């Protein structure tokens, strides 16, 4: 590490049993231990004595059990040395609580960089990086052997990415690429071929957003790589997770599939990390200190190759590609799509009927339910419940119901004019399915949404209606993208990015001669981006707007929550500095408030240190501690 862990100054721990003599280790009898303590201001590195019987096991990167105050807690050995003060009495290490050196130096360095970026406790990150111990699985630790790798791959991938890039992927040269998924190309197949190429020369870690992706890629990777493949993450049983971590640490598997929990895994020096769809909110950790897969991957050692693969990249990745830090790879495939937009006067039903004779049809809908919002047909006032919640129509019985208190209005009438005719302005997936069913009375219509998702297209010919992220894997003769204005204009920071990512992801499922319907005007920037077959087309203007508005990726954003009085006082003190942009306080529930702090990238590390110090001072004074999060998915 460039510096010893940036924590509290190192201290000796006086022994509570000073009269007792301990047989200390002959060589380097003093261990510097990073102690796990729930009290933030006490986190630091303290000196402990290494007993002779534990000396061989108590190596750097080993977890140990120590006495801290009047209780026992876990610690991590970060250094070993001689006793410089002969008269000093320190407490001994009580036991070893992990395999020797399980926390490799590369993990320590990586965690330190992540902690310096996101703040918070070092131990909170360490617990997320190292799985809970299962002793019985350690019998396999020394018996694991590496296996030969199957390096065969498809010639088709060479035709898509070109001979030069194909050769570079098979070389040991370090690469940093931002890769766009080509339209009408199965993402699972494309990523599998990239993994094959990189696995032929080194270890590969594939980080995917959620469990659906884990299942899909497991089916693709496991049969090909066999014993050279393993899976890691909180979704698998505790003992299997720990066993797989040991296998990965021992460099005995070549290909690793994981969700965001695998972001800290120790890898070989020539390894490749592939992040799929970094814009997905599943890549963002909710527990303190709240990191994300993209930034954790970017902080890996410089000898690691990095590939960010997505149908449409986040603005953070777009900025890095513009800077040249990541090399842009915009692969395209020759297609003959028939595009229609909402301003050509034709209904999407006509395209569904035409395409259904050739294969399956995919219809993307913004929301589940039947009619999620409606107005009075006469006066156009919103239909509200007496509790204040909005009414929605859930199901084909068309009975309004409050989304908040669930009260049913069998005989609904407008509170303003007394009219009883609803006018739906926000249709859900069930209502859309009903309309398509009336137009295609003999067609098989399936719904994939919420907890009832279809993973793969069933046999036969179907019209599939799906909400975002619920689309079954397969190829479609038509893709109908509804609710464009709603998804593009949602009141969130990333609405435009997510809309673009969704629609380009849907195009990956379209056949090369598919019918495409887009529910936006022809001159809309997103439509133009699709017609140009360039998902980066919008990024330049979006980045310019973000920079002018002092928003990510040019500014880092911290969310600070706490007691109303404490937050107000902190906001006043913070506004005296011209470095930060302060928004709020915004009142939350139960006498709490929230503060949004924006900092230029150049001063962001100072803001991290400032908020860390504030939390420690609050801990010392026994005050309510602020909840701090950096770079959340949405502000």
What is the Rg, in whole angstroms, of the alpha carbon atoms belonging to the chain?
A: 28
pLDDT band at 3 (very low <50, low <70, confident <90, very high): very low
364 and 219 belong to one structural domain: no
Whether 38 is covered by a domain: the verdict is yes
- pLDDT on residue 4: 47
- pLDDT on residue 371: 55
Whether 182 is covered by a domain: the verdict is yes
Lowest mean pLDDT among 307-316, 406-415, 563-572: 406-415
533 and 592 belong to one structural domain: no
75 and 150 belong to one structural domain: no
- pLDDT on residue 140: 61
Which of 330, 357, 385 is at the close of a domain?
330
Whether 587 is covered by a domain: the verdict is yes
Whether 542 is covered by a domain: the verdict is no
Q: How far apart are CA 183 and CA 476, in angstroms?
A: 12
Which of 59, 84, 103 is at the close of a domain?
103
* Number of residues written out for the chain: 635
Summarised one tens digit per residue, pLDDT across range 430-483 is 778 888 888 888 889 998 988 788 988 888 999 999 999 899 999 999 999 998
522 and 558 belong to one structural domain: no
468 and 389 belong to one structural domain: yes
* Three-class SS state of 165: helix
Q: How far apart are CA 369 and CA 467, in angstroms?
A: 10
pLDDT exceeds 60 at position 8:
no
pLDDT exceeds 70 at position 164:
yes
Q: Average model confidence (pLDDT) for the chain? A: 86
- pLDDT on residue 346: 72
- pLDDT on residue 20: 44
What's the CATH code of the domain at 565? Answer: 3.30.70
Q: How far is CA 557 from its chain centroid?
A: 17
373 and 449 belong to one structural domain: yes
Which of 279, 306, 330 is at the close of a domain?
330
- pLDDT on residue 384: 77
Summarised one tens digit per residue, pLDDT across range 90-103 is 889 999 999 999 99
pLDDT exceeds 80 at position 85:
no
What's the CATH code of the domain at 518? Answer: 3.40.50
- pLDDT on residue 84: 67
pLDDT exceeds 80 at position 141:
no
521 and 606 belong to one structural domain: no
Helices and strands counted in the chain (H then E): 17, 27
Percent of the chain with pLDDT over 70: 88
- pLDDT on residue 147: 61
Whether 2 is covered by a domain: the verdict is no
Taking the model in full, what pTM does it have? 0.87
Summarised one tens digit per residue, pLDDT across range 186-219 is 999 999 999 999 999 999 999 999 999 999 999 9
**For residues 376-384, average pLDDT:** 74
Q: Of 194, 568, 501, which Cα lies nearest the Cα of 364?
A: 501
205 and 271 belong to one structural domain: yes
309 and 442 belong to one structural domain: no
Q: Residue 455: which domain range?
A: 338-537
526 and 615 belong to one structural domain: no
- Looking at the structure of the chain, the number of domains it has is 4
**For residues 501-511, average pLDDT:** 95
Phi, psi of 292 (to 5 degrees): -135, 155
Whether 127 is covered by a domain: the verdict is no
403 and 457 belong to one structural domain: yes
Whether 132 is covered by a domain: the verdict is no
Of 619 and 47, more confident? 47
Q: How far apart are CA 582 and CA 560, in angstroms?
A: 11
What's the CATH code of the domain at 215? Answer: 3.40.50.300
pLDDT exceeds 80 at position 146:
no
Whether 117 is covered by a domain: the verdict is no
Which tokens is 33 given?
């231990």
pLDDT exceeds 70 at position 321:
yes
Summarised one tens digit per residue, pLDDT across range 247-288 is 998 888 999 999 999 999 999 988 999 999 999 999 999 888
349 and 326 belong to one structural domain: no
- pLDDT on residue 27: 81
E-strand ranges in 316-443 read 327-330, 338-341, 361-364, 371-376, 391-393, 400-402, 422-427
Phi, psi of 585 (to 5 degrees): -75, 150
- pLDDT on residue 19: 39
């Amino acid at each position: 590490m460039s510096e010893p862990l940036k924590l509290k100054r190192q201290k000796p721990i006086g022994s509570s049993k000073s009269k007792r003599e301990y047989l200390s280790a002959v060589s380097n009898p003093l261990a510097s231990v990073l102690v796990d303590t729930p009290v933030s201001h006490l986190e630091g590195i303290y000196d402990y004595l290494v007993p002779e019987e534990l000396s061989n096991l108590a190596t750097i990167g080993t977890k140990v059990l120590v006495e801290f105050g009047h209780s026992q807690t876990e610690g991590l050995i970060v250094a070993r040395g001689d006793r410089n003060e002969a008269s000093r009495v320190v407490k001994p290490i009580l036991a070893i609580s992990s395999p020797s050196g399980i926390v490799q130096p590369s993990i320590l360095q990586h965690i330190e960089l992540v902690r310096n970026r996101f703040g918070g406790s070092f131990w909170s990150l360490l617990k997320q990086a190292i799985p809970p111990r299962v002793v019985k699985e350690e019998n396999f630790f020394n018996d694991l052997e590496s296996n030969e790798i199957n390096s065969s791959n498809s010639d088709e991938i060479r035709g898509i990415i070109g001979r030069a890039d194909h050769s570079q992927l098979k070389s040991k040269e370090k690469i940093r690429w931002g890769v766009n998924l080509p339209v009408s190309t199965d993402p699972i197949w494309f990523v599998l071929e990239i993994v094959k190429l990189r696995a032929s020369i080194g270890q590969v870690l594939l980080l995917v957003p959620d469990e659906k992706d884990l299942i899909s890629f497991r089916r693709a990777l496991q049969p090909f790589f066999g014993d050279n493949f393993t899976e890691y993450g909180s979704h698998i049983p505790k003992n299997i997770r720990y066993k797989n971590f040991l296998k990965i640490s021992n460099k005995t598997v070549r290909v690793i599939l994981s969700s965001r929990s695998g972001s800290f895994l120790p890898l070989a020096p020539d390894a490749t990390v592939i992040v799929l769809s970094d814009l997905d909110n599943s890549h963002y950790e909710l527990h303190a200190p709240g990191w994300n897969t993209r930034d954790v991957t970017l902080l890996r050692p410089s000898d690691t190759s990095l590939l960010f693969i997505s149908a449409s990249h986040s603005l953070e990745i777009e900025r890095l590609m513009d800077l040249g830090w990541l090399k842009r790879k915009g692969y395209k495939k020759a297609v003959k799509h028939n595009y229609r937009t909402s301003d050509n006067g034709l209904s999407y039903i006509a395209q569904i009927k035409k395409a259904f004779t050739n294969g399956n049809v995919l219809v993307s809908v913004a929301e589940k339910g039947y009619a999620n919002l409606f107005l009075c047909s006469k006066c156009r006032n919103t239909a509200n419940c007496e509790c204040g919640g909005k009414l929605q129509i859930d199901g084909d019985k068309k009975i309004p119901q409050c989304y908040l208190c669930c009260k049913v209005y069998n005989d609904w009438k407008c509170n303003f004019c007394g009219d009883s005719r609803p006018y739906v302005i926000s249709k859900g997936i069930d209502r859309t399915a009903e309309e398509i069913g009336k137009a295609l009375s003999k067609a098989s219509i399936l719904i994939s949404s919420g907890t009832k998702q279809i993973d793969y297209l069933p046999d036969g010919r179907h019209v599939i209606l799906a909400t975002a992220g619920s689309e079954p894997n397969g190829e479609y003769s038509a893709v109908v993208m509804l609710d464009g204005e709603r998804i593009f204009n949602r009141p969130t920071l990333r609405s435009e990015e997510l809309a673009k990512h969704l629609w380009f992801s849907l195009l990956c499922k379209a056949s090369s001669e598919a019918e495409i319907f887009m529910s936006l005007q022809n001159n809309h920037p997103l439509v133009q981006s699709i017609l140009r077959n360039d998902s980066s087309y919008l990024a330049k203007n979006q980045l310019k707007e973000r920079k002018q508005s002092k928003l990510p990726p040019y500014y880092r954003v911290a969310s600070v929550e706490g007691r109303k009085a404490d937050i107000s006082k902190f906001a006043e003190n913070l506004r005296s500095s011209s470095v930060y942009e302060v928004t709020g306080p915004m009142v939350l529930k139960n006498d709490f408030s929230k503060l949004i702090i924006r900092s230029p990238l150049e001063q962001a590390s100072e803001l991290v240190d400032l908020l860390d110090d504030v939390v420690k001072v609050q801990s010392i004074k026994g005050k309510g501690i602020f909840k701090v999060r950096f770079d959340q998915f949405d502000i």
